[in-house]
Structure 1
Amino acid sequence: MGCAILAAAIAPGTAAPAAMVRNDHGQLTVAADSPLAARLSVTPVTLVSLSRTIPVPGEVRAEPSRSLSVMTPVAGSIVSLPVSPGDPVTRGQVVAELVSGDMAQAATDVAKARAALDYAHRALVRAQGVASAGGAATRDVESARSTWLQAQAEDDRATARMAALRASAGYQAGQGGVIRLTAPIDGIVSAVNTAPGAFVTDPTAPLLAITGTQEVWAVAAVPENLADALHVGQQTEIDVPALPGRTAHGAISAIEPVLHADTRTLQARVVLANGDGALKPGMFATLTVLTPQPPRIMVPQSALLMNNDTVTVFVEVAPHTYRRRGIEIVYDDGDLCEVTSGLSAGERVVTQGAVLLNDD
């Protein structure tokens, strides 16, 4: 369906009366006080900047930095697991408790190292006092100093190991080797891979996964033939079939540099705020990329006339004076049609009632 062309098909005798219109070699002057003048609408020709829309399929994904696994730094037996898949959690909330002999041993090592360091320090002070009174040899002081330095190194080692264990999982250490694993981020428990009573022997095995949904990614699969049309920073509209009537907006933040060989697509992502959690990772989405186009001259359909297979408009050359002019247009659907030649920005054309000026 192309632009609607108003055919100037006025039968003989139906043209505007001579009293209303004066024709001077194709230049039509309409009496300012005539009924015809009141039926004419004249509009300036303007440049219109339109955007080309490129719809591409995609999906909602969790941001990788907001999807984390909770693991235990040492082997142990799970005694409590107070969360289930789908439960919301906050950062620092206890999500699992374990009893670990390794943890108890690490705590004992710290206590022993502190005691040994304290004893070595007191022995060094005592040896230095005896030596200053002339009652001990220098080698006794050096021996006490060496013992103190070794005790200090052992205390540093035990303390550093304990600190590393705590930092590696963000847990709280309780008495008797109890470890309380906590959520590293705010989010939703997306998977639980263990149960109370289970004995964990592999510290690299995730006990549960937490996904943060305050921000998500809308990832588009861009076909190879459209890759050059997309750029970082372009605005997009994201529609999710599962949420009819809701359209999100965002700019392309990144485009993968490598084409996926199996699908011949590039992945472009848009970061979206998701404070209400309505956008769920895994949802299908359509990303419509808005690609700005150069400004174009556009006129309403109602201004167009067909005369002898030529598209024309009436251009105002003086107040209430009009001349027919042939133009070329791009046939397209919509209320406006693009004019490729025959008109310039700023010229005024008749957009309503042009058929009444037909002089054929």
Structure 2
Amino acid sequence: MKKLVFVLLGCAIVFGGIFGFLAYKNKMAAEFMANMPIPAIPVTATKATQQNWPRTVPAIGVMEAQHGVDVSTEVAGTVQNILFESGNRVAKGDLLVQLDAEVEQAELRSVQAQLDLAQSDVRRARALAPNKTISISALDKAESDAKVAAAAVGRLTAVIAKKTIVAPFDGMLGIRRINLGQYLDPGTPIVNLQDLSAMLVNFGVSQRVLSDIHVGQPIRMATDSYPGRIFEGKVTTIAPLIDDRTGMVAIQGRFENADGSLRPGMFARLDIILPDMQQTTIVPQTAVSYSLYGNALYVINRSKNEKGEEIATVERAMVETGARRGNWVIVTKGISPGAEIVTSGQLKLTNGAHVTVTESEVLTPPQTLPLE
């Protein structure tokens, strides 16, 4: 019996020690985890900036030359001579194509002879009329015959002139579309001619902003063909008619093109610059996360812990954004100017996460809002 008591007592001591050790171990582990510093996620940050930006009306437009035409023939004929090369620059009046006009020239000689005879008859009739040697009706017929012959000469002269095709204005030629010996019907395109000294841009804006737009207003334009280059122009025409199906107003702007960079048919992104300014809060586009549920960014809040050490946590803020231009986006609601925001590293963040700012970017926005 005593042996059993000693065995039981020994087991109690052994197991009590084991359980006591385990409890002590768990307590120490819990204390260690409770006191262990929360790992901070590295991010880059900057501050939201407030600036006065000019108000703009964005639009998409298509360019056309101030003068552009497919040079064609008004009369039928066979190509006798081609006096231009594709891509040449030409001046107004330069000869481009000569059509065969031998038949018309022969007919012209014939009707010219008839005109000469008719004019001689008129002179004789006028000399004899005072003496009443011929009747007044004979004089009238001679004068009528002379007029008919003169009209025939004028018609053939005009036809021959139309077979000499010249450039209607200064410009650059496109690709030749005809060949020597080819028979051309009236209206057959010969070559495209474009005056590239200035470009017109056609675009539309909503009737809601019609009261803000007037002729002479400045326009800024960017194209995919010349990244980073901004072209300056002006509004030249505002259509009097509003499209009742779309509510859009057609507008045309003009841009000087001395170096010939701009070409007809190019698409362009435009900003009509309005005269008044607006205060806006802008942030880098990389700071905003876009989703179907709304746009958000992370705001950094700085505080001190019990030991007096500075800690930084993030709070997810839903924001409303406006125009996006270049690397910038306007935030119309959700944050205040001067708020410190995360610009990279957002994928690892959650509300309340501790962060460490590895690089604090000091960004200086441009004085004018760049086009996208």
TM-score normalised over the length of structure 1: 0.56
Closer, same or farther: CA 295–52 of 1 in aligned 2, 3 Å = closer
Tell me the secondary structure at the aligned position of residue 254 of structure 2.
strand
Amino acid at match of 1:219: N
Take 1:330 and 1:100, find their aligned partners in 2: how far apart are those partners? Answer: 77
CA deviation vs aligned residue, 1:176-203 (integer Å, no higher than 9, x gap): xxx4311111111235332111112x22
Pair 1:274-2:275 in alignment: no
- What does residue 215 of structure 2 align with? 232
- What does residue 243 of structure 2 align with? 259
Closer, same or farther: CA 209–110 of 1 in aligned 2, 3 Å = farther
Take 1:251 and 1:286, find their aligned partners in 2: how far apart are those partners? Answer: 14
CA deviation vs aligned residue, 1:122-167 (integer Å, no higher than 9, x gap): 4325534xx74xxxxx362535413421232113312442464477
Kept in 2: contact 1:214–1:273 (CA 8 A): yes
- What does residue 243 of structure 1 align with? 226
CA deviation vs aligned residue, 1:51-85 (integer Å, no higher than 9, x gap): 2123322232123xx11333333321102223344
Amino acid at match of 2:65: A
Tell me the secondary structure at the aligned position of residue 213 of structure 1.
strand
> Which of these residues, 203, 216, 241, is aligned with residue 186 of structure 2?
203
Take 1:166 and 1:2, find their aligned partners in 2: how far apart are those partners? Answer: 75
Take 1:125 and 1:191, find their aligned partners in 2: how far apart are those partners? Answer: 58
Amino acid at match of 2:182: A
Pair 1:213-2:196 in alignment: yes
- What does residue 185 of structure 1 align with? 169
Take 1:289 and 1:333, find their aligned partners in 2: how far apart are those partners? Answer: 26
Amino acid at match of 1:121: V
> Which of these residues, 289, 292, 295, is aligned with residue 275 of structure 2?
292
CA deviation vs aligned residue, 1:217-247 (integer Å, no higher than 9, x gap): 1223435665565443321111223123432
CA-CA distance at 1:99 after TM superposition = 0.5
Gaps of 5+ in 1: 6-47, 133-137, 170-178, 297-328, 335-360
- RMSD over aligned CA atoms reads 3.8
Tell me the secondary structure at the aligned position of residue 79 of structure 1.
strand
**RCO (CA 8 Å, sep 6+): is it higher in 1 or 2?**
1
Percent identity between matched residues is: 22
Take 2:106 and 2:334, find their aligned partners in 1: how far apart are those partners? Answer: 81
Kept in 2: contact 1:91–1:186 (CA 8 A): yes
CA deviation vs aligned residue, 1:236-294 (integer Å, no higher than 9, x gap): 11122312343222221123333385x77543221122222121112222111111226
> Which of these residues, 60, 73, 81, is aligned with residue 57 of structure 1?
60
Take 1:238 and 1:97, find their aligned partners in 2: how far apart are those partners? Answer: 42
Take 2:146 and 2:209, find their aligned partners in 1: how far apart are those partners? Answer: 65
Tell me the secondary structure at the aligned position of residue 212 of structure 1.
strand
CA deviation vs aligned residue, 1:30-58 (integer Å, no higher than 9, x gap): xxxxxxxxxxxxxxxxxx98521233222
Gaps of 5+ in 2: 1-45, 280-332, 339-372
> Which of these residues, 146, 152, 176, is aligned with residue 146 of structure 2?
152
Kept in 1: contact 2:101–2:160 (CA 8 A): no
Larger radius of gyration: 2
